[in-house]
């Protein structure tokens, strides 16, 4: 005590005298910096961001329900445990030893050549993970050191060809995981590769590392990243997606990635494995602004390394956490392991914010799992056995705020809240403010016993037992009288469609997940045949159509966005998490018409879109659709003929606008054409409702519907 006090006084004196001792100067330098505003979640996640429908569908396959993944950092570095020839141990990450220990590639190769994790047992790993409640596994197939844990024909610097071990860890683990019902993914460092002089370093400021690991490289060496991508990283990713049953691929540190490079990797993965999830590190480092233009190329957002969300987030995320301060196994220098309580709290906060926790363990160089990691996972597994229903398959906190005593998750139907009491209150009570629902019952998951609660208006108060029922997180399951946070998809649709919802063409369509999904976008002609198409494709496809009459081409993207934003909203009981298999679209009839004061008038009116504008809009529409649903088959339906005598349209214009459309679509040979113009033209006299009207009678509608259904069916069966 005395000494402490004295030290303080001396320090104060020194400070007053204006002479900071060296130690204090150091401390001042290291004083906590003001938080970087660019790291704030609000800065990174704009509220308007939306994953594509395809990405949401991929998330929905298993990822969103899984919540708990095991990340594995395993490689040559695991044998060094964070130190090489006395160097590098002050560094936080043991997998960075080649850089922190300044190990030239030639020397690191010698370490690699001795890598022999002889005690590796894939089934033992997989069963351990499974028993701890883990639902998916992501292992380093190649970290920044460039060494592959899989057999590669691209580079012999891999575990099978380069080491005495000779076994393909990725193959063995993928099979063991799938045997256990675990999903399996690989980490692949697509940009950094310290074994390749052409690969970029983590940032421009760290370019000097290149000469640490390649000391003989000429000082004026000009790295060529594309040469590295084409010769190693892209072909190895191809090997991975081709040869292994991947459910997920985890890219990292996207130094010098750009749109062109992102497309190469994303398209490669999707070409071989359309259901394989891709994380955001294909382009996003974890901290900067998330850019809408890249969302079509990955499926969910990895937040920063070992970052836990502090608020609920608008996009589905994953936190790459770790049981310790390192990712690779580290015994040298400092290494901090989280307490069981910290780990469970980090996990619960991540899930309640709207995300998965991918919690890392670094196995030992001999191939055994780190016993400390297994202990921590075990504590999580024990808690999950009792409280798993508050985690798996849940959705983020539906309330605006996170309570000070813990956090909240909810069931997908919005009828159940799970209150996670992380800090047991001295007052013996917790309150939930601004609850827009009525609690019907409350029980503790730990015991099944009823919890004491009283509700006044929107304030729910729980009186707790004196002791927590779980030392880390006591969960109270609250059943609500009316669901909250969720809205019926049917109501959301009704809001969109307005009065039209009462017409069968605009009725709400319930999704049958067993059959493909078709969307019809179009004007009143398509409204006319929608029901016929539905009849013809009954039990073969869910046939959706735009919630309103499709207008001219300039309104296409707005209407589609409005519909998808409303129907993909997270809070719906049945959001559109499916993928579009086919989208048939038509625009034109409203482009070629002449309006004067909003009325059809070809004498004095102005044409809605010139041919040039129409073509431009069509290009934008195609780009939009390719982003919205990269795997959907697109069909363009031509505009049906305009009769003589129509008050706002000239008879020859449909053909002219179709010609312009086909000219644009010639650049997109993947888009099929349904030439309804040619199909309809010879039948004009029988099908028109009355002279001078663009609409069709039942015979016409049915014939067109049959034709549309025929082409859609053919398209579906060709996929």
What 3-state class would DSSP assign to 450?
strand
When asked if residue 194 is in the footprint of ligand H79 (CB under 6 A), the reply is no
User: Residue 343 Cβ, how far from ligand H79 at the closest point, in Å?
Assistant: 17
- Residues in contact with ligand H79, counted by CB under 6 A, come to a total of 14
Please, which residue, 145 or 505, has the CB nearer to ligand H79?
A: 145
**Structure tokens, 472:** 């880390």
User: Residue 252 Cβ, how far from ligand H79 at the closest point, in Å?
Assistant: 5
Map residues 568-607 to x or -, x wherever contact with ligand H79 holds by CB under 6 A: ----------------------------------------
**Structure tokens, 430:** 């917790």
When asked if residue 115 is in the footprint of ligand H79 (CB under 6 A), the reply is no
What 3-state class would DSSP assign to 88?
coil
When asked if residue 305 is in the footprint of ligand H79 (CB under 6 A), the reply is yes
When asked if residue 95 is in the footprint of ligand H79 (CB under 6 A), the reply is yes
Beta-bridge partner residues of 277 = 248
Q: Are 241 and 294 in contact (CB under 8 A)?
A: no
* The one among 60, 61, 154, 202 contacting ligand H79 by CB under 6 A: 202
When asked if residue 206 is in the footprint of ligand H79 (CB under 6 A), the reply is yes
Instruction: Map tokens 């997998």 to a residue.
Output: 95
Contacts 24+ apart (CB under 8 A), 608-611: 608/552, 609/552, 609/553, 609/554, 611/656, 611/657, 611/660
Q: Give, in degrees to the nearest 5, the angle at Cα 78 between 77 and 80.
A: 65
User: Residue 315 Cβ, how far from ligand H79 at the closest point, in Å?
Assistant: 19
When asked if residue 87 is in the footprint of ligand H79 (CB under 6 A), the reply is no
**Runs of H (alpha helix) within 328-416:** 340-354, 371-387
Find the binding residues for ligand H79 in span 63-82 (CB under 6 A).
73
Instruction: Map tokens 């760290």 to a residue.
Output: 206
CB atoms within 10 A of CB 153: 11
Contact stretch for ligand H79 (CB under 6 A) within 89-97, 120-128, 665-673, 676-684: 89-97
What 3-state class would DSSP assign to 561?
helix
Contact stretch for ligand H79 (CB under 6 A) within 44-52, 86-94, 391-399, 639-647: 86-94
Contact stretch for ligand H79 (CB under 6 A) within 90-98, 364-372, 573-581, 659-667: 90-98
Half-sphere exposure of 92 (CA within 13 A, CB side): 9
Residues in the chain: 719
Give the Cα separation of 382 and 29 in Å (integer): 43
CA-based diameter of the chain, in Å?
Answer: 107
Contact stretch for ligand H79 (CB under 6 A) within 49-57, 88-96, 417-425, 706-714: 88-96
**Nearest residue to 284 via CA among 260, 306, 300:** 300
Please, which residue, 346 or 579, has the CB nearer to ligand H79?
A: 346
List CB contacts of 586: < 8 A, sequence separation 6 or more.
521, 522, 523, 525, 526, 550, 636, 637, 638, 639, 676
User: Residue 206 Cβ, how far from ligand H79 at the closest point, in Å?
Assistant: 6
User: Residue 377 Cβ, how far from ligand H79 at the closest point, in Å?
Assistant: 18
User: Residue 309 Cβ, how far from ligand H79 at the closest point, in Å?
Assistant: 17
Q: Are 309 and 393 in contact (CB under 8 A)?
A: no
User: Residue 362 Cβ, how far from ligand H79 at the closest point, in Å?
Assistant: 10
Please, which residue, 96 or 162, has the CB nearer to ligand H79?
A: 96
Please, which residue, 303 or 518, has the CB nearer to ligand H79?
A: 303
Q: Are 195 and 99 in contact (CB under 8 A)?
A: no
Please, which residue, 61 or 202, has the CB nearer to ligand H79?
A: 202
Please, which residue, 100 or 554, has the CB nearer to ligand H79?
A: 100
Give the Cα separation of 667 and 527 in Å (integer): 28
When asked if residue 320 is in the footprint of ligand H79 (CB under 6 A), the reply is yes
Map residues 213-252 to x or -, x wherever contact with ligand H79 holds by CB under 6 A: ---------------------------------------x
Please, which residue, 192 or 638, has the CB nearer to ligand H79?
A: 192
User: Residue 286 Cβ, how far from ligand H79 at the closest point, in Å?
Assistant: 8
Please, which residue, 137 or 421, has the CB nearer to ligand H79?
A: 137
Q: What is the dihedral of CA 694, 696, 702, 705, to 10 degrees?
A: 20
List CB contacts of 714: < 8 A, sequence separation 6 or more.
none
User: Residue 64 Cβ, how far from ligand H79 at the closest point, in Å?
Assistant: 21
Please, which residue, 305 or 591, has the CB nearer to ligand H79?
A: 305
Please, which residue, 139 or 642, has the CB nearer to ligand H79?
A: 139
User: Residue 77 Cβ, how far from ligand H79 at the closest point, in Å?
Assistant: 10
User: Residue 107 Cβ, how far from ligand H79 at the closest point, in Å?
Assistant: 19
Please, which residue, 300 or 688, has the CB nearer to ligand H79?
A: 300
Contact stretch for ligand H79 (CB under 6 A) within 25-33, 52-60, 91-99, 335-343: 91-99
Give the Cα separation of 11 and 586 in Å (integer): 78
Contact stretch for ligand H79 (CB under 6 A) within 49-57, 87-95, 121-129, 543-551: 87-95
CB atoms within 10 A of CB 504: 8
Handedness of CA 669, 674, 678, 681 (dihedral sign): negative
What 3-state class would DSSP assign to 18?
coil
Give the Cα separation of 115 and 97 in Å (integer): 15
Please, which residue, 168 or 305, has the CB nearer to ligand H79?
A: 305
Please, which residue, 157 or 194, has the CB nearer to ligand H79?
A: 194
User: Residue 92 Cβ, how far from ligand H79 at the closest point, in Å?
Assistant: 6
Q: Between helices 653-665 and 611-628, what is the axis angle to 10°?
A: 50
Find the binding residues for ligand H79 in span 249-288 (CB under 6 A).
252-253
Beta-bridge partner residues of 137 = 70, 184
Exposed/middle/buried for 42, CB within 10 Å: 0-12, 13-18, 19+?
A: exposed
* The one among 77, 150, 327, 636 contacting ligand H79 by CB under 6 A: 327
Give the Cα separation of 117 and 544 in Å (integer): 54
Contact stretch for ligand H79 (CB under 6 A) within 92-100, 331-339, 564-572, 600-608: 92-100
Q: What is the DSSP letter of 472?
A: S
List CB contacts of 2: < 8 A, sequence separation 6 or more.
none
Contact stretch for ligand H79 (CB under 6 A) within 7-15, 85-93, 307-315, 550-558: 85-93
Nearest residue (beta carbon) to ligand H79: 327
User: Residue 268 Cβ, how far from ligand H79 at the closest point, in Å?
Assistant: 21
User: Residue 464 Cβ, how far from ligand H79 at the closest point, in Å?
Assistant: 38
Please, which residue, 93 or 405, has the CB nearer to ligand H79?
A: 93
* The one among 45, 74, 84, 93 contacting ligand H79 by CB under 6 A: 93
Handedness of CA 653, 655, 661, 663 (dihedral sign): negative
Question: Residues interacting with ligand H79, by CB under 6 A?
Answer: 73, 91-93, 95-96, 99, 202, 206, 252-253, 305, 320, 327
């Amino acid at each position: 005590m005395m000494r402490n006090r004295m030290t303080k006084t001396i320090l104060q004196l020194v400070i007053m005298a204006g002479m900071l001792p060296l130690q204090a100067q150091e401390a001042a330098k290291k004083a906590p910096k003001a938080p970087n505003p660019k790291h704030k979640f609000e800065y990174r996640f704009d509220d308007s961001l939306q994953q594509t429908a395809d990405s949401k569908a991929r998330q929905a396959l298993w990822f969103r329900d899984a919540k708990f993944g095991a990340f594995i950092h395993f490689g040559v570095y695991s044998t060094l445990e964070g130190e090489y020839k006395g160097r590098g141990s002050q560094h936080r990450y043991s997998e960075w030893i080649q850089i922190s220990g300044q190990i030239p590639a030639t020397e690191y190769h010698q370490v690699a050549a001795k890598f022999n994790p002889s005690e590796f047992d894939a089934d033992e790993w997989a069963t351990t993970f499974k028993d701890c409640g883990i639902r998916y596994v992501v292992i380093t197939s190649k970290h920044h050191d460039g060494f592959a844990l899989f057999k590669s024909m691209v580079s012999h610097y891999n575990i099978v060809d380069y080491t005495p071990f000779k076994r393909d860890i990725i193959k063995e683990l993928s099979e063991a995981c799938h045997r256990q019902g675990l999903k399996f993914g690989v980490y692949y460092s697509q940009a950094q590769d310290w074994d390749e002089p052409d690969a970029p370093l983590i940032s421009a400021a760290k370019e000097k590392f290149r000469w640490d690991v390649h000391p003989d490289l000429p000082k004026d060496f000009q790295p060529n990243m594309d040469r590295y991508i084409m010769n190693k990283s892209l072909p190895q990713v191809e090997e991975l997606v081709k040869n292994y049953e991947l459910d997920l691929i985890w890219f990292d540190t996207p130094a010098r990635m750009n749109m062109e490079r992102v497309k190469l990797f994303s398209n490669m993965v999707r070409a071989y494995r359309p259901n394989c999830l891709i994380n955001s590190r294909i382009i996003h480092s974890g901290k900067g602004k998330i850019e809408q233009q890249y969302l079509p190329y990955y499926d969910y957002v990895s937040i920063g390394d070992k970052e836990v969300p502090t608020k609920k987030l608008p996009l589905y995320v994953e936190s790459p956490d770790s049981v310790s301060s390192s990712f690779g196994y580290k015994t040298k220098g400092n290494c901090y392991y989280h307490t069981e309580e910290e780990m469970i709290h980090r996990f619960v906060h991540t899930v309640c914010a709207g995300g998965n926790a991918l919690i890392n363990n670094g196995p030992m160089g001999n191939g055994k799992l780190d016993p400390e990691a297994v202990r921590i996972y075990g504590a999580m597994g024990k808690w999950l056995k009792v409280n798993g229903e508050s985690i798996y398959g849940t959705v983020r906190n539906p309330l605006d705020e996170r309570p000070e005593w813990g956090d909240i998750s909810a069931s997908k139907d919005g009828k159940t809240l799970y209150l996670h009491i992380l800090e047991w209150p001295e007052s013996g009570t917790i309150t939930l403010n601004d609850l827009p629902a009525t609690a019907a019952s409350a029980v503790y998951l730990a015991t099944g016993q009823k919890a004491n609660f009283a509700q006044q208006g929107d304030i729910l108060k729980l009186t707790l037992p004196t002791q927590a029922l779980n030392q880390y997180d006591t969960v109270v399951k609250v059943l609500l009288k009316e669901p909250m946070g969720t809205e019926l998809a049917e109501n959301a649709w009704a809001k969109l469609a307005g009065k039209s919802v009462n017409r069968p063409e605009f009725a709400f369509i319930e999704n049958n997940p067993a059959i493909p999904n078709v969307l019809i976008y179009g004007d009143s002609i398509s409204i006319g045949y929608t029901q016929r198409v539905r009849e013809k494709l009954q039990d073969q496809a869910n046939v959706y159509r735009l919630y309103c009459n499709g207008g001219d081409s300039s309104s296409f993207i707005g209407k589609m966005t409005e519909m998808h934003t409303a129907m993909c909203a997270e809070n719906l009981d049945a959001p559109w998490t499916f993928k579009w298999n086919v989208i048939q679209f038509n625009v034109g009839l409203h482009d070629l018409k002449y309006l004067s004061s909003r009325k059809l008038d070809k004498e004095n009116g102005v044409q809605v879109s010139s041919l040039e504008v129409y073509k431009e809009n069509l290009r934008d529409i195609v780009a939009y659709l390719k982003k919205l649903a990269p795997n959907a088959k697109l069909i363009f339906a031509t505009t049906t003929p305009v009769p003589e005598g129509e008050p706002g349209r000239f008879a020859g214009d449909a053909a002219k606008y179709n010609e312009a459309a086909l000219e644009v679509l010639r650049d997109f040979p993947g888009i099929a054409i349904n030439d309804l113009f040619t199909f309809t033209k010879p039948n004009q006299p029988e099908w028109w409702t009355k002279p001078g009207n663009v609409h069709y009678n039942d015979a016409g509608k049915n014939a067109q519907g049959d034709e549309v259904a025929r082409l859609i069916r053919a398209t579906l069966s060709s996929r």
